[in-house]
Amino acid sequence: MQSIGFLQGIDMLRRLVALVCLGLLVMSGGVLAAKAKAVKSDLEKLQGTWDIVEVVNNGAQVAQDPTRRGQVVFNGAMMTVQESPDEAEPRKFQFTLYPREKPKAIDMTTQNGEYQGSLNGAIYELEGDTLKLCAPNSPDVDERPMQFKSEEGSSNVLLILKRVKR
């Protein structure tokens, strides 16, 4: 029986480690590609104009006038929220999607107004032409909601949006 020399054993160990590292790199590349594909898919589905059809803020239903509905517009990675047609300066957010989270997550960074630069962690659910967004309605809240609810004392706002047909 032939024994492997000490240096040959180290060389084999190096090769094995390199092979394992290469395998991990290939596997992580697949995971990253799947994440990127999920983000692109949801990003494409969000694009366009959405009517705000229902708002629940801190547990209270906010009346919506169907003739003067607010709108949310997704354009690339920018989201504009106009609560009413005569609002002087709509709120603008840059956003990042995390569609593989449970529930799906969205980070929104305020681009204008009083809270410019603040990050708001929210969740979203997209089913056909209906989009639900639930977010803390306060810059002081760091926790992302885990359910599509706005209960009294939660400071969450729940928006139900319907896609505007072209």
Torsion angles phi and psi, residue 152, rounded to 5: -55, 135
In this predicted structure, what is the pLDDT of residue 90?
Answer: 94
Higher pLDDT, 83 or 104: 104
H or E segment to which residue 94 belongs: strand 91-98
Residues 6 or more apart in contact with residue 92 via CB below 8 angstroms: 78, 79, 80, 81, 110, 111, 112
Q: pLDDT, tens digit, for every residue of 63-100?
A: 887 777 899 999 999 999 998 888 889 999 999 999 99
